[in-house]
A and B are shown apart, each in its own frame.
Chain A
Amino acid sequence: GAGVSQSPSNKVTEKGKDVELRCDPISGHTALYWYRQSLGQGLEFLIYFQGNSAPDKSGLPSDRFSAERTGGSVSTLTIQRTQQEDSAVYLCASEKTVSGETQYFGPGTRLLVL
């Protein structure tokens, strides 16, 4: 079946602009995660959605970052007023349940802030 998809695959933006990154999880997966992979910080958790529960936003680095998940499926990560330090690969993962199942990752969105 289809895996996790993300768009765009690459995004170049100017400092101060807003960007939206999209994630389509595997159909039927109830949990969705956003991670960020950057040279200085490695792989770090950003935010987590599970069903209709309130998302856990504890990993978001600043209030410029927000995410939503509509209809329990597609998720959008929004970065407002982008900064150069936001340059990274943003990875989305989905999971069938939250009882020790496997998180399956999308190909990522490579963001470059000039």
Chain B
Amino acid sequence: AQSVAQPEDQVNVAEGNPLTVKCTYSVSGNPYLFWYVQYPNRGLQFLLKYITGDNLVKGSYGFEAEFNKSQTSFHLKKPSALVSDSALYFCAVRPLTGFQKLVFGTGTRLLVSP
């Protein structure tokens, strides 16, 4: 069975500092990995995905994520946080083959203070 773990319910960071939101996964075979962001009273907005190739994936709004197969991790990063980055972040996985539903982590709330 597939699963995703986001070990931190909340991450606090000061504006201008680098941020990391952690994600580890468990899936049979090679995965497709995704990060989504949710602002208050909004749906999920796609940030980036890893399919294959370069382990460092760049996405929207200056976010990037690094795929680490040996550690089964896909941490989300940004070099310099903005107050407007404050939101709920979800990591998700789907297998390369078979049924295509997304399996989500429990979400991490990012709070960027001025």
A interface residue numbers (CB < 8 A to B) = 4, 6, 31, 33, 35, 42-43, 45, 48, 50, 56, 59, 91, 93, 95, 98, 100, 102-108, 110
User: A interface, by DSSP: helix, strand, loop or mixed?
Assistant: strand
Contact A100 B44 (CB under 8 A): no
Closest chain A CB from B114 CB (angstroms)? 28
Closest chain A CB from B109 CB (angstroms)? 13
Q: How many A-B residue pairs have CB under 8 A?
A: 52
Known: A35-B102, A48-B101, A100-B32. 11 other contacts (CB 8 A): A4-B43, A6-B43, A42-B106, A45-B103, A48-B99, A48-B100, A56-B99, A56-B101, A91-B44, A93-B44, A100-B96
| Residues of chain B contacted by A33 (CB below 8 angstroms) | 101-102
Closest chain A CB from B28 CB (angstroms)? 16
| Residues of chain B contacted by A105 (CB below 8 angstroms) | 36, 43-46
Contact A43 B90 (CB under 8 A): yes
Known A42-B106, A43-B90; contact A106-B101, beta-carbon cutoff 8 A: no
Closest chain B CB from A46 CB (angstroms)? 9
